[in-house]
């Protein structure tokens, strides 16, 4: 599994032609306690950069953008009852949605882990 990152602090963990999307640990630290998540509908077709979800914290509301183009295949329903999972485990239990990737070439425009670490310094 390969993980790539956007400049807006989303990650996509790629496994074959599918990806699991969420926000990075850095992003959840900046947001503070997350109190609400609005997830995309299963079947929604997204283009890279489209608004896919909204996260509300005690500090602000933030849009989550699609890191690549594709179709939403699954959402993390546990977040509707427990949005704090994003704070506790953003790259694990706090994932937001899964996407069927329609243009794998778009992954090449995203940062690898070393690039992302340099980006947030």
Kindly state the average pLDDT of the residues 107-115: 97
pLDDT at 117: 97
Q: Is 108 exposed, middle or buried (0-12, 13-18, 19+ CB in 10 A)?
A: exposed
The mean pLDDT of the chain is 97
- What is the percentage of the chain residues whose pLDDT exceeds 90? 98
Kindly state the average pLDDT of the residues 55-63: 94
- What is the percentage of the chain residues whose pLDDT exceeds 70? 100
- Alpha carbon distance 50, 71 (integer Å): 12
Q: HEC profile for 46-68?
A: ECCCCEEEEEEECCCEEEEECCC
pLDDT at 64: 98
Domain ranges (residues) in the chain: 2-103
Relative to beta strand 2-5, strand 70-75 is unpaired
pTM of this structure: 0.97
Q: Is the pLDDT of residue 1 over 90?
A: no
Kindly state the average pLDDT of the residues 69-90: 97
Please give the CATH topology (third level) of the domain spanning 2-103.
OB fold (Dihydrolipoamide Acetyltransferase, E2P) (2.40.50)
Task: For residue range 28-50, list pLDDT tens digits in order.
Answer: 999 999 999 999 999 999 999 99
């Amino acid at each position: 599994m390969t993980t790539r990152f956007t400049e807006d602090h989303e990650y996509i963990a790629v496994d074959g032609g599918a990806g699991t999307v969420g926000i990075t640990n850095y992003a959840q630290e900046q947001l503070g306690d997350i109190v609400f998540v609005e997830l995309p509908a299963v079947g929604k077709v997204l283009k890279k950069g489209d608004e896919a979800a909204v996260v509300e914290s005690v500090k602000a509301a933030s849009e989550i953008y699609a890191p690549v183009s594709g179709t939403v295949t699954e959402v993390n329903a546990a977040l509707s009852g427990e949005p704090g999972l994003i704070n506790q485990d953003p790259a694990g239990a706090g994932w937001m949605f899964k996407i069927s990737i329609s243009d794998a070439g778009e992954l090449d425009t995203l940062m690898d882990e070393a690039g992302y670490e340099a980006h947030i310094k």
